[in-house]
Amino acid sequence: MSPAQPSAPPGPTGPTGPRAQLPVTVVGIGADGWAGLPGGSRAALREADVLIGGPRQLALLPGECAGERVPWPSPLRPAVPGLLAAHAGRRVAVLASGDPMFHGIGRTLSEVLSVTLGTDAQRAGALRVLPHPSSVSYACARLGWPVEDTEVVTLVGRPAERLSAALYDGRRVLVLSAGAATPAEVAALLRDRGFGPSRMHVLEQLGGGERERRFEGIAQEWAEPAGDPLNVVAVECRRAPDAPRLGAVPGLPDTAYEHDGQLTKRHVRAATLAALAPAPGELLWDIGGGSGSIAVEWMRTHRSCRAVSVERDPARAERIGRNARALGVPGLRVVTGGAPGALAGLPVPDAVFIGGGLTVPGLLESCWDALPAGGRLVANTVTLESEALLAEWYRRLGGELVRLSVAHAVPVGGFTGWRQAMPVTQWVVTKDRPSRVATTGVPPAGISSAGLPAAGVPSAGVPAAGLPAAGLPAAGVPSAGVPSAGVPSAGVPSAGEER
């Protein structure tokens, strides 16, 4: 007979122990309160030991909901794990406005519980959601707008400038308000962005029966006083005739940006964003931000795209922030400092764009090392010194090396001719496997980093070391009449001033 096994030590009493076996129930509730809840939602609230919600939501419950009432603390999200742990083992019901999974507390609870459990909270049975019609559903029903054709922008806890990215002539937009002052803020933004002729509808206490109220007007004439804080603003977008037209794809007019000349111009910018290939949820490092145009248009491609713009000049860094707010992406993070030092501690990027400072020691190496497998790197330059550097990296890592030339028609006397802009050399490469390069300079000849061909052993179709591609001087060997590294020719920006 085998010896008796010692009993397992008692589990913790926090969210991962025995006290956390009961699921958290999230109940959506509308302005109509208890009367508008279906039977299942009422039963969950009656049976709860703990009722968590905002003061307004808790006040909607009748006395028959006898559970302990706990108002949400502020700030809310950091308090969620501790609050759930404090009530683990009790039947917890959380009140949410409308649909809890639509810009609501349901998402936060799902994320927190999933992290705590190490698995999907709903699949594990730790979270149960009982939705109620959202304010968006009510608003579209009142206005006769198809929900699937209506853009929704939330300003709850977010800056009003987010609305700018959704403004297109003829589009319908629903704005989830942060409070009573939101309609006036929306009207002011519409006027500032050239959409003053837009019609606004403010819908208050949606689903609240006799308490519902609706009023409307033109944004440029808006003078309504602040009303109920529980409101939604519906906007029928109309652009003023003299307002600039901004498209939905990269390549906004240069005039859309405030800049001091350090701007990736429109046509090159469109080609650069195409090479970067942003996808929803991805993060960009924009090195040498200049005016921030690459980062701004990366974020405009999808609301979940994120970007960090690194700019050493404080005045330009402030300008990047202003451009981001004006063009509807106030969430753009601006880091003031020089790369590569300023890159320390940044989240891992999905793509990196280098628009300036290519010849700074260690910059390319740091950016390449930071990329995960599948990450993209795009570098632009107009100087021969940086072009030679990109040619060497292209020889070692492959990718695509292209030269972009743009010419504009201009008057020539009584005729018209072409004015050529400075050509831009662009290197585009995808990291196909985890690898690192030497920490200073380009990897030395004959020493290959993981995944890199050794110097002197070119890939098919790539010139060997010392044998430059047609039209390109060998790295570090300037052609006659070409300035040596660090000595820019007249009118050509020095390293770090390429955009």
Mind listing the pLDDT tens digit for each residue in 14-33? 444 444 458 899 999 998 99
At residue 23, the 3 state secondary structure works out as coil
Q: Is the pLDDT of residue 172 over 60?
A: yes
Q: What is the dihedral of CA 314, 343, 338, 299, to 10 degrees?
A: -50
pLDDT at 126: 87
Tell me the angle at which helices 314-326 and 293-300 cross, rounded to the nearest 10 degrees: 30
pLDDT at 475: 41
pTM of the model: 0.79
Q: What is the pLDDT of residues 43-86, one digit of tens each?
A: 999 999 999 999 999 999 999 999 999 999 988 888 999 999 89
DSSP state string for 111-152: HHHHHHHTS-TTTTT-EEEE----HHHHHHHHHT--GGG-EE
Q: Which amino acid is at 45?
A: L
Q: What residues does 53 pair with on adjacent strands?
A: 71
Q: Is the pLDDT of residue 460 over 90?
A: no
Q: What is the pLDDT of residues 359-410, one digit of tens each?
A: 999 999 999 999 999 999 999 999 999 999 999 999 999 999 999 999 999 9
Confidence band of 450 (pLDDT split at 50, 70, 90): very low
